[in-house]
Amino acid sequence: MRLIPRETKFFEMFAEVSANLCEGARLLERILRQSGSDIPQMVQQFKRIEHRGDDMTHAILTRLNQTFITPFDREDIHRLASSLDDVLDFMNAAAVRLVMYKITDPPRAAADLAALVVQQSDELAAAVSLLGKNQNLLDHCVEVNRLENEADVVSRAAIAELFETERDPIRLIKIKELYEVLEAATDKAEDVANVLEAVVLKSA
Amino acid sequence: MRLIPRETKFFEMFAEVSANLCEGARLLERILRQSGSDIPQMVQQFKRIEHRGDDMTHAILTRLNQTFITPFDREDIHRLASSLDDVLDFMNAAAVRLVMYKITDPPRAAADLAALVVQQSDELAAAVSLLGKNQNLLDHCVEVNRLENEADVVSRAAIAELFETERDPIRLIKIKELYEVLEAATDKAEDVANVLEAVVLKSA
Amino acid sequence: MRLIPRETKFFEMFAEVSANLCEGARLLERILRQSGSDIPQMVQQFKRIEHRGDDMTHAILTRLNQTFITPFDREDIHRLASSLDDVLDFMNAAAVRLVMYKITDPPRAAADLAALVVQQSDELAAAVSLLGKNQNLLDHCVEVNRLENEADVVSRAAIAELFETERDPIRLIKIKELYEVLEAATDKAEDVANVLEAVVLKSA
């Protein structure tokens, strides 16, 4: 009788983290489709989402350390919380670079990469909502991996083009790193999908 | 009676992964000793090896999640599979950069680093073949670590020389990154050796 | 009766690792406040501290693999040893770059980042000395995290300024990387604090 609320609580907390991730991804895409003077203020807004994510992750890990019976493998709860947090961290790394490097006209491929992170976040939120039910959860994981492969292709093409066309090495360094941290965000989303997949397979 | 084939199966799967790793390392060294127009086609060939490696890793992890009794620590099987996959991933990162950055004349030190990855892969394959027997396995791990130290020295010297001699910052960025991902591959091989070492020490 | 010495031994070993970390951090700060011809010789001295740290870490992991009953969670001992080692590794990465890139006049912000690592190392040593007692240990972890946030602000400001003022792309690459590896050292110190926090919360 007492176990049900505990189980539910972890699922609720992960649903909140996923919703926050989706909100962050959408804002990041909007920032990157932007150009000009609004960017620093929107990046401030993004940072608030990132801090909220940190607090949520911390709350899950604290609860985990104080909970004896968990709805699924203790290590996997830890991995799931950490890997979801990593996705937001790398999105934040992209947002921060816009300000740090004073990039006022992000290239189109950066926004396209962010759009892939939006799609991955939506798939992850759908997968997380199926935790404990497991039905169809794997389909969402497969889609997250497919989107990661797509991001790989997009970022490689964008970097290759950058090396073809950009003659200013300092601008090249800035934009290359922007692409790389966005691509890393899609890798981290794949890590989340791998954790979810392991949870499902263990309970099968 | 039923457990024996299961145990054997994991050992067989790791032997396959190791053989694939050795094949990839040899091809990568050949690519890097090359110069000119054959490179993109050879990189395509490398990608096939990398995809095969991904499939093999996925098969191990799926089997692991569905297997109740494992020949050694569950976590260590996971770590061994992931770390072997990481070695191939970083080799692939090197191969990809040749095409992405249109490097048609890789510097000699890059091929020398790949030669060290070849040696490490051979040592790892030998170590993996001794899993469950454990005899002399540690000697191969020690050798993998020694080769990593050697790669460290080679890559630092190569990067120092690059900064001394290369005046084109864009070319410098390309070649520096090529050295770094090759050196990262040797680090990942060391991670594999550390997992194997832990497996042996636990069973001692 | 037999367990006490075993427990004590791990605590002693971690105290040694922490003391070595503090010594390394202090030396690194001195190196970075330096300018000129003494640097390569001081970096050699740093490397000896780093090798000593490697040996200490290896001794802990070996003992762990051979010990049946541990004073706290086996995985956490592993994580604590590895994460402490990572801090020293990234400090070493900074020291190595001074020689590899022939940086004879490190910028002030690099020394300031090293000063934050010194403070973090002292806090970690204090926290480690409270393992098994737990009292006030969390306060030191909170402080390590606060210092990491401070390092984040310092390194971002330093990198932003570098992109504003440095016109030589090759010098920019060198100094940017120096800042990044120092900032990574402070991240790794935060990882250590997170492991210590988890140990305390589990035993609460």
Which pLDDT band, with edges at 50, 70 and 90, does C181 fall under?
very high
Sorting pLDDT into bands at 50, 70 and 90, what band is C7?
Answer: low
Cα separation, A64 vs A61, whole angstroms:
5
Going by pLDDT thresholds of 50, 70 and 90, the confidence category of residue C2 is very low
pLDDT of residue B1: 40
Q: Do A100 and C160 touch (CB under 8 A)?
A: yes
Interface test with B, best of C166, C173, C180, C181 (most B CBs within 10 A): C173
Residue C137 has pLDDT above 70, yes or no: yes
Which tokens sit at A133? 């039910």
| Alpha-carbon span A21 to A80, nearest angstrom | 13
CB contact under 8 A, A169 and B170: yes
Q: What is the pLDDT of residue B203?
A: 77
Enter the DSSP assignment of A133: T
Structure tokens at B42: 């050879």
Query: Do A160 and B100 lie within an 8 Å CB cutoff?
Result: yes
Closest CA to C158 of C3, C18, C32: C32
Instruction: Say how many C-beta atoms besides its own lie within 10 A of residue A42's C-beta.
Output: 18
Give yes or no for residue C94 having a pLDDT over 80.
yes
Angstrom CA distances, C165 to B84, C35, C160, C172, stand at 43, 20, 9, 9
Taking contacts as CB-CB distances below 8 angstroms, the residues of chain A near C163 are 100-102, 170, 174
More confident call, B45 vs A200 = B45
- Joined tokens for residue B19: 């053989």
Please give the C-alpha separations between residue C14 and each of C62, C79, C92, in angstroms, as whole numbers.
Answer: 14, 12, 19
pLDDT score of C6: 57
* Contact residues on chain C for A61, CB-CB shorter than 8 A: 198
pLDDT in tens, A130-153: 998 878 999 999 999 999 999 999
- Cβ distance of B169 and C174 shorter than 8 Å: no
Residue of B nearest to A75 (CA): B75
Contacts for B42 with CB less than 8 Å, ≥ 6 apart: B27, B30, B31, B34
With cut-offs at 50, 70 and 90, classify the pLDDT of residue A173.
Answer: very high
Q: Give the pLDDT band of residue C3 (cuts 50, 70, 90).
A: very low
| Shortest CA gap B29–chain A (Å) | 22
How far A81 CA sits from the closest chain C CA (Å)? 14
| CB atoms B163 and C62 under 8 Å | no
Got the DSSP string for chain B?
--HHHHHHHHHHHHHHHHHHHHHHHHHHHHHHH--STTHHHHHHHHHHHHHHHHHHHHHHHHHHHH-SS-SS-HHHHHHHHHHHHHHHHHHHHHHHHHHHTT-SS--HHHHHHHHHHHHHHHHHHHHHHTTTT-TTHHHHHHHHHHHHHHHHHHHHHHHHHHHHH---HHHHHHHHHHHHHHHHHHHHHHHHHHHHHHHHHHH-
**CB distance from B201 to chain C under 8 Å?**
yes
Asked if residue C85 lies in contact with residue C54, where contact means CB atoms within 8 angstroms, the answer is yes
Predicted local distance difference test score (pLDDT) of residue A3: 45
What's the mean pLDDT in C164-179? 98
d(CA B125, CA B141): 11
**Residues A37-75: tens digit of each pLDDT:** 789 999 999 999 999 999 999 999 989 888 888 888 888
- Average pLDDT value over all residues in chain A: 93
Query: Per-domain residue ranges for chain C?
Result: 3-203
Q: Look at residue A7 in the predicted model and tell me its pLDDT.
A: 65
Q: How far is A187 from chain C (nearest CA, A)?
A: 20
Subunit contact A159:B96, Cβ cutoff 8 A: no
pTM of the model: 0.93
Average pLDDT, chain B: 93
Cβ C117 vs Cβ C25: under 8 Å: yes
Supply the angle between the helices A39-66 and A74-100 in degrees, to the nearest 10: 160
Q: Do C163 and A169 touch (CB under 8 A)?
A: no
Q: Which residues contact A163 (CB under 8 A, 6 or more apart)?
A: A172, B100, B101, B102, B170, B174
At what angle are helices C169-203 and C74-100 packed, to 10 degrees?
160
Mean pLDDT of C46-60: 96
Q: Which residue matches tokens 């000119």?
A: B36
Express as a percent the part of chain C with pLDDT over 90.
79
Alpha helices in chain C (DSSP H): 3-33, 39-66, 74-100, 108-129, 137-165, 169-203
C41 near B CB under 8 A: no
CB atoms inside a 10 Å sphere around CB B195: 21
Percentage of residues in chain C with pLDDT exceeding 70? 96
Closest CA to B137 of B50, B6, B14: B14
DSSP at A130: T
| pLDDT at residue A125 is higher than 50 | yes
Mean of pLDDT values over C4-24: 88
**C 108-167 residues with CB below 8 A of A?**
156, 159-160, 163
For B91-149, what is each residue's pLDDT tens digit? Answer: 999 999 999 999 999 999 999 999 999 999 999 999 999 998 878 999 999 999 999 99
Q: Which amino acid is at A10?
A: F
Contact residues for C197 (Cβ-Cβ < 8 A; gap 6+): C138, C141
Pick A200 or B91 by higher pLDDT.
B91
Interface ipTM: 0.90
Q: Is the confidence at residue C146, as pLDDT, over 50?
A: yes
- Check C163 against A100: CB less than 8 A apart: yes
Q: Nearest CA of chain C to the CA of B20: how many Å?
A: 29
Compute the nearest-CA separation of A57 from chain C (Å). 12
For residue B2, what pLDDT band results from cuts at 50, 70 and 90? very low
**What's the pLDDT tens digit per position in C29-39?**
999 998 777 89
Residue-wise pLDDT tens digits, B171-198: 999 999 999 999 999 999 999 999 999 8
Q: Does B63 touch chain A (CB under 8 A)?
A: no
In this prediction, what percent of chain A has a pLDDT beyond 90?
Answer: 79
How close does chain C come to B184, measured CA to CA in Å?
14
Higher-confidence position of C156 and B37? C156
Q: Which of A89, A99, A100 to mutate to test the interface with C (most CBs of C within 10 A)?
A: A100
Both tokens of C92, joined, read 């070493």
Architecture of domain A3-203: Up-down Bundle (1.20)
Q: Point out the residue among B62, B101, B174 whose CB comes nearest to the CB of A201.
A: B62
pLDDT confidence of residue C44: 96
Query: How many Å lie between the alpha carbon of B143 and the closest alpha carbon of chain A?
Result: 31
Neighbours of chain B (3+ CB pairs under 8 A): A, C
At residue B7 the predicted structure's pLDDT band, cuts being 50, 70 and 90, is low
Whether the pLDDT of residue C179 is over 50: the answer is: yes
Residues C109-134, mean pLDDT to the nearest whole number: 95
Nearest-CB residue to C65 (from B159, B163, B198): B198
Given CB atoms, is A102 within the 8 Å cutoff of chain C?
Answer: yes
